[in-house]
Amino acid sequence: MELKRRKDDEVYDSCLRKCHDIWKGLEEFDRRHQRLSDSIQRVKELDIEIEQEHRAYNIVVGDVRQGLEKLKETNAETEQCLEEAKQHQDAWGRQLKATGLIMEAESKQTDELRRQNDETEQAIDQIQQSIITCKQFAKEIVRRDNAHREHQRHLRREARRISEGRRNQ
């Protein structure tokens, strides 16, 4: 009996060890299962994040496409503005050239008017000199005329005196 008991104890110990090993294996399985569950959960979370980032990426791509379309429109408008600016600049250049020609013509006209003005001033100076000369001649004529009249009066008085002297004789 003792032997049987020992044998039973050994079987029991062996069973306990096997149970303990199985228990440890189950604990290890539970830990691995938990790590696997955690990893699966993390993969699901990452999958959700990737899906959200993919949606955000698609939104950004859509925004970029819209931005590119707007940029193309803006570029076309800029090209049109540049063309209009070039046309305006060309027109302004033509206007400047015309203004330059007008200024050149006005300058020539001004020079001609100055020349004519100088000639007119010279003519006026000559006329004024002629007027001064004429006034001097007129004064001389008046002086001679006055002297002639005075001489005539003197002669008439002399003639009257002689005539009266003859009458009195």
Tokens of 111: 């020079």
What is the residue-wise DSSP string for 43-92? Answer: HHHHHHHHHHHHHHHHHHHHHHHHHHHHHHHHHHHHHHHHHHHHHHHHHH
Reported as a single tens digit per residue, the pLDDT across 45-101 is 988 999 999 999 899 999 999 989 998 999 999 999 999 999 999 999 999 999 999
Whole-prediction pTM: 0.40
Reported as a single tens digit per residue, the pLDDT across 105-131 is 999 999 999 999 999 999 999 999 999
Reported as a single tens digit per residue, the pLDDT across 8-61 is 888 888 888 898 988 998 899 889 999 989 888 999 998 899 999 999 989 999
Q: Which residues, at least 6 apart from 23, have a Cβ–Cβ distance to it below 8 Å?
A: none
